Amino acid sequence: MLTDKRLIHDILKKGANQAADELIRRYYDDLYFYLYRQVGNKNDALDLTQDAFIAALNGLSSYDVHKSSFRTWLFRIGTYKVIDARRKQKITWLELEDDEWVDEKDLDESLYQKELLTAVNHYVASFRPEIQEIFQLRVYGKLSFPEIASLLIQNEERIKAQYYRLIKKIREEFREYE
């Protein structure tokens, strides 16, 4: 099996359609599921998945293998596609306050309930795009804090603080679901 790096090289140097097809097949389901969990709508998730792959393939020359894995880079593009789609809805962002961090374990278990997931996604969409991106990469992309910090070029402690403040806000907002 060819590595992502080799497939990308073949696409950039040779214009290899087979390499592009393989790269898409390799990550399509993961990206679709990631985006679907955020938007909760099959058609929107399909459109966003397609848009993300088009953007990734068009911008492949700007991908830096030393900064992140292709999967992480692709998920970031997908996250931006979701944020852009939500921006079109003209949302007013809420601000996070400095408070204690909370444990995410209990919240993670209840996030899999569809009704709660939809409500949480709408609530998270009311925060600034930077906060949404951290949440999406952590919860749906299952990236570690060091991976998110590297991807966003931010301090890991700052990422953790923002994430855990948001988790606390979510717990307060959805206390009746616990």
- Over the stretch 18-76, which tens digit does the pLDDT of each residue have? 888 998 999 999 999 889 888 888 999 999 999 999 999 999 889 888 888 898 899 98
| CATH fit for domain 4-87, picks 3.20.20.70, 3.40.50.300, 1.10.10.10, 1.10.1740.10 | 1.10.1740.10
Retrieve residue 132's tokens: 């949404």
pLDDT digits (tens, 9 = 90+) for 115-145: 777 788 888 888 988 898 899 888 888 888 9
User: Taking 60 as the threshold, does the pLDDT of residue 108 lie above it?
Assistant: no
This prediction's pTM: 0.59
Please give the Cα distance from 167 to 156 (Å, whole number). Answer: 16
Tell me the CATH number for domain 105-177. Answer: 1.10.10.10
Instruction: Compute the CA torsion angle 68, 47, 32, 113 (nearest 10 deg).
Output: 120
Domain ranges of the chain: 4-87, 105-177
- Name residue 38's amino acid: Q
Please give the Cα distance from 32 to 48 (Å, whole number). Answer: 8
Ranges 2-6, 59-63, 148-152, most confident: 59-63
